[in-house]
Amino acid sequence: MNANSFKAFGVVVICLELFGFCASLDGILGHADFSSSQLLKMRVAFVAIFIVGVGLIGLRKWAAIYFSVPLFCMGLWIFWGSIEQGPFPWNLVFMLEGVSLMLPAVVTVRLWPYLSWREKWFSDRTETERRRIALSVYKSSVGRQRGVRRLGQQIRSRVMVANNF
């Protein structure tokens, strides 16, 4: 699992949003009779979904939260609803659908360190993160080696002092 999962989520969100927008335009212009307030609400929703999709492509933490939390809640709702109301063979299908909607939350938790709240758009965060982690591991291992050396020197000096007496 790598950060490209969120980029794929972002592409899927934008493609589905554009498909839904085109379908709504056909419905708006052809058959449906919406008021101006309903049209405004739909346009705001489409813009918000598009912004979340762009944020997912840019590996933003806020976009991951806005994407994962509603899907997790919907998946949990579908999962529990299928247990109570569906007949046995069919409720397994709906339970599977509910679990599949909860999976983006798992991906969000697993990839949280690779996401950022706000950063330049075209930087390679994963490589920067790897370098930072490697540097901290190197510093801690060097510190441990120095500590072990000091401990060894102290033990040797105490043994030499004990042997002289």
Q: Are residues 61 and 140 in the same domain?
A: no
Q: Are residues 100 and 160 in the same domain?
A: no
Query: 128 pLDDT band (50/70/90 cuts)?
Result: low
Q: Are residues 128 and 58 in the same domain?
A: no
Q: What's the structural domain count of the chain?
A: 2
pLDDT of residue 69: 94
Q: Are residues 158 and 78 in the same domain?
A: no
- Helix intervals (H) in the chain: 4-30, 36-57, 61-85, 88-110, 125-164
Q: Are residues 30 and 68 in the same domain?
A: yes
Q: Are residues 79 and 26 in the same domain?
A: yes
Rounded mean pLDDT, 123-132: 58
Say if CB 50 and CB 14 are below 8 A apart.
yes
Q: Are residues 148 and 85 in the same domain?
A: no
Q: Are residues 116 and 91 in the same domain?
A: yes
Q: Are residues 110 and 130 in the same domain?
A: no
pLDDT of residue 162: 59
Residue range of the domain that includes 148: 124-165
pLDDT of residue 113: 83
Q: Are residues 75 and 23 in the same domain?
A: yes
Q: Are residues 58 and 110 in the same domain?
A: yes
Q: Are residues 139 and 100 in the same domain?
A: no
Query: 50 pLDDT band (50/70/90 cuts)?
Result: very high
